Amino acid sequence: MLRAGIVGLPNVGKSTLFNALVANAKADAANFPFCTIEPNVGVVAVPDERLEALAKISNSEQIVPTRVEFVDIAGLVKGASKGEGLGNQFLANIREVDAIVHVVRCFDDDDIIHVSGSVDPVRDIEVINLELALSDLAQVDRRMERTRKQARTSKDAQLELGALEKLSAGLNEGKSARQINLTEEEAESVTVLGLLSSKPIIYAANVSENDLASGNEWVEQVRQVASAENAQVVVVSAQVESELVELSQEERADFLESLGVKEGGLKSLISATYQLLGLRTFLTTGPKETRAWTIHTGMTAPQAAGTIHSDFERGFIRAETVAYNALVENGSMNAAKEKGLVRSEGKDYVVQEGDVMLFRFNV
């Protein structure tokens, strides 16, 4: 299961958002810096309305969604790359995740301390991104010293050195590693470094309940920063989400309607994170269960079968495949077959998002 790390300055709402994400998680959320020291981990179901529709068609006994893991990482501060505020420990936690959800404070509240004394999302983003880049730069420069010696006799080292020199130049210019153009081979040569600023990122603009429907000026500032990085922004209210957890479904709907929204942004954040991780979903359905399965983009039918059981991949014969929309529109697998919409796909077939699949295999 791939992991997304929730990061940001202290007191921006990270732990409150995390608690809402995992519903019954026990992450501390308090009004002082470094409340969270050890990272909290929670496994979250990815919302997928397709499962309900398929379950009705198959009269399934249960529904099993796919999941993604979120890690609540302590707040970073200026100087973290030099160890300020237990920065080395927190940066190491970020190194272990696959993607970053950067929570940015876009609300004003005199009762909640801001470490810099005022709300300024652009400044806050720059603080975090700079600390990640400085940590990467130190690591790149150390690696370059060793690689230069090896490059005298090794072509692989020469390739890596070229990538490191590009990274060093870009990081010194204030860019993140993900903004630096490397060839596929160059990127592969430095994968082992696990550079923090190379990780894909989503900005979660955390607003008050009054700004959830329309956003505010601070949200627009976050969008401008994200646009320059080709990153995504999700508007969410940790305050609203923390209240929704305590309500019934009917009460939730009424509360959100009173705010002029259909949701608090949490579903969008989970789905966007799932996509950011380069994940896709195929579906299986039957009387026992309807289930979503996670694969990486580009996986073939046998590889997808292997996510269910390794025997399915080893003994793969074919996959009976139908697009989700085609199946739902026709109401049953038999009706879809009669119209020629169910295909028999072989070992080279690349699984598409939303494929409903039945695997045939030899034991």
The CATH number that domain 3-275 falls under is 3.40.50.300
Q: Where are the domains of the chain?
A: 3-275, 298-361
What kind of architecture, by CATH, is found in domain 298-361?
Answer: Roll (3.10)
Q: Residue 31 has what pLDDT?
A: 39
**Residue range 127-160, pLDDT digits in tens:** 888 888 988 998 999 999 889 989 888 999 999 9
**Distance between CA atoms of residues 244 and 251, nearest Å:** 8
CB-CB contact of 121 with 226 (8 Å): no
**Distance between CA atoms of residues 108 and 219, nearest Å:** 12
**Distance between CA atoms of residues 273 and 202, nearest Å:** 7
CA 266 to each of CA 48, 107, 197, 271: distance values in angstroms, whole numbers, following the listed order: 13, 17, 24, 9
**Tokens standing for residue 41:** 């981990």
pTM exceeds 0.85 for this model: no
| Extended beta strands in the chain, E state | 3-7, 40-45, 62-64, 67-72, 99-105, 201-206, 232-236, 279-285, 289-296, 316-323, 343-345, 355-361
**Residue range 182-240, pLDDT digits in tens:** 999 999 999 989 899 999 999 999 999 899 988 899 999 999 999 988 899 999 998 88
Residue 64: closest CA among 288, 237, 232, 243:
288
How would you write the pLDDT of the chain (363 residues) with one tens digit per residue? Answer: 688 999 888 888 888 888 888 764 343 433 334 444 456 788 888 888 999 999 999 999 999 998 888 888 866 556 545 554 444 566 778 888 889 999 999 998 877 767 667 889 999 999 888 888 988 998 999 999 889 989 888 999 999 999 999 999 999 998 899 989 999 999 999 998 989 999 999 999 999 989 998 889 999 999 999 998 889 999 999 888 888 888 888 898 898 889 888 877 888 888 888 888 888 999 999 999 999 999 998 999 999 999 999 999 999 999 999 999 999 999 999 999 999 999 999 999 999 999 999 999 987
